[in-house]
Amino acid sequence: MDQHREIAELDNLVLYDGVCKFCNSSVNFVLDHEKNDQLKFTPLQSELGARVLKEHNFPIDYTESILFLSKGKLEAKSTAALKISKFLKGPWSLGRVFLLVPRFISDFFYEIIAKNRYKWFGMTDACMLPPANHKERFLE
């Protein structure tokens, strides 16, 4: 299968900064609170992450935000995070109502955290290993 078609067939893929402790904690939070195990995950630093970035005209070294690939569309920043929230249980799924907030406002708050995440939460030397009970959901 060619790479373009392979990426086009991916759905509900979360791309995250694999060396960011806050991002890794966020992935674990999603895993712990997800409704139906529909999401897949890959670090931005992975080979698949690089191919998705290239396919959607993002810089190959992009790590500024979480990304969410669904139905062929790649979302970034607050939009990605809020669209991921619809897959969560209970009150966490209500986060998607903030999609009604103008993007420039929600991205403003998102970017404050994103720009300071290494300083506030730290970095790891390597991407996290997927939890054993979710290993098949991590594509690389």
CATH number reported for the structural domain that contains residue 72 in this entry: 3.40.30
The whole-model pTM stands at: 0.89
pLDDT value, residue 133: 81
Q: Which residue has the higher pLDDT, 107 or 94?
A: 107
C-beta neighbour count of 6 within 10 angstroms: 13
pLDDT tens readout for residues 32-85: 999 999 999 999 999 999 999 999 999 999 999 999 999 999 999 999 999 999
Q: How far is CA 66 from CA 1, 13, 78, 132, in A?
A: 27, 11, 8, 23
pLDDT tens readout for residues 100-140: 999 999 999 999 999 999 999 999 887 777 777 888 889 87
- Specify if 134 maps to a domain: no
pLDDT value, residue 25: 93
- Specify if 139 maps to a domain: no
- Specify if 135 maps to a domain: no
Number of structural domains in the chain: 1
- Specify if 136 maps to a domain: no
- Specify if 32 maps to a domain: yes
Average pLDDT for 13-35: 95
pLDDT for residue 90 is more than 90: no
- Specify if 91 maps to a domain: yes
Separation CA 55–CA 7 (nearest Å):
8
Q: Which residue has the higher pLDDT, 81 or 9?
A: 81
- Specify if 40 maps to a domain: yes
- Specify if 129 maps to a domain: no
pLDDT for residue 93 is more than 60: yes
pLDDT value, residue 118: 94
Q: How far is CA 109 from CA 30, 48, 104, in A?
A: 20, 28, 9
Domain that holds residue 18: 3-124
